[in-house]
Amino acid sequence: MREAKERQCFCDRPRLSDWTGRARTLAVVVLALWVLWPGGARAAGQGVEVDQVFRDGERLVFDVTWMGIKAGQATLEARGVVRLQGQAAYHLVTTAQSAPFISAFYRVDDRSDSYLAASPYRSLRFDKQLREGNYRHNSQALFDHGGKRVTFRYLDFSPVPKGVTSLEEAEKHSKYVTQEFPLGPNALDELSVLYYVRTLPLIEGRTVFAAVFASRKNWDLEVKVLRRETLDTILGRRETLVVEPVLKFEGIFQQKGRVIVWLTNDAERIPVLMKSEIKIGSFVSTLTQRESGVALAEPSGTGVRVR
């Protein structure tokens, strides 16, 4: 009964024109998938081996459909360790692109880069580039944990002519704005928090939390572990953990409705299915490809390849 109730909201079929009113839903799909993508987790209820979670070159590809229509593709990647602010950091990337049919009238081409330091886990930098229809957004957040502040730099596209699509051209019509905001202890950004959650114990019926700076505020991200369910996936028939991230902040994490994620309940906990409810209809993201990378140790500066 509970399962039927959860899936009922995905049955109404909206008009295709409703897509244009959901400017950032693809981004929600992509990032909701990050909310518990433990590429190397152990059994449910236990923590995670760091050298199994962070894998240089690991790449997940998802097909995103909207009421049965292919809306686009999302990718999640771990690109090894880089040197930033004098320390080693994991480089994490997520992208979302609309399908050719959708792009003909509403193109989506988004990318976010996160740089995550360890011991303790905390964000060092977060870059975001959104291209959605006529909407454009470019921003960078630099985290100063010693000074307990975030320097947020963004380009205001409001005075930019609608026909301008490149960042270089937009800079001729506008300028970057710099702001500073208070930062909570060991805060993470909108992407790095999801890698951090991967390292936490996940126990059925319980909830985990993590500190995040997003939408120019400090938040607690809440993730509920609902139940277990067996699914047929590209990886075979697998028992999964069904989890629900409670997305309270705006930006890429816009709370349009419930987001439910199915993770394999094994030593890897791979997200194989995600359903994102919106006001009319829903998006479904299905894992279609997985590339395993090379395991990395914690970026302490020894024994880790740094680009």
Q: Whole-number mean pLDDT of the chain?
A: 75
Domain that residue 217 falls in? 18-294
> Which of 159-173, 214-228, 255-269, 277-291 has the lowest average pLDDT?
159-173
What residues contact residue 138 under an 8 Å CB cut-off, 6+ apart?
128, 129, 130, 154, 155, 157, 167, 170
Both tokens assigned to 90? 């994991």
| pLDDT tens-digit readout, 181-211 | 999 999 999 888 777 776 777 788 999 888 8
| 3-state DSSP assignment of residue 137 | strand
- Please report whether residue 302 resides in a domain: no
| pLDDT tens-digit readout, 242-254 | 888 886 655 443 4
Tally of domains in the chain: 1
| 3-state DSSP assignment of residue 121 | coil
- Please report whether residue 113 resides in a domain: yes
| pLDDT tens-digit readout, 28-43 | 444 444 333 333 333 3
| pLDDT tens-digit readout, 148-157 | 999 999 887 7
- Please report whether residue 303 resides in a domain: no
Measured at the CA of 63, the angle between CA 59 and CA 67, to 5 degrees, comes to 155
Both tokens assigned to 158? 């409001």
- Please report whether residue 299 resides in a domain: no
- Please report whether residue 230 resides in a domain: yes
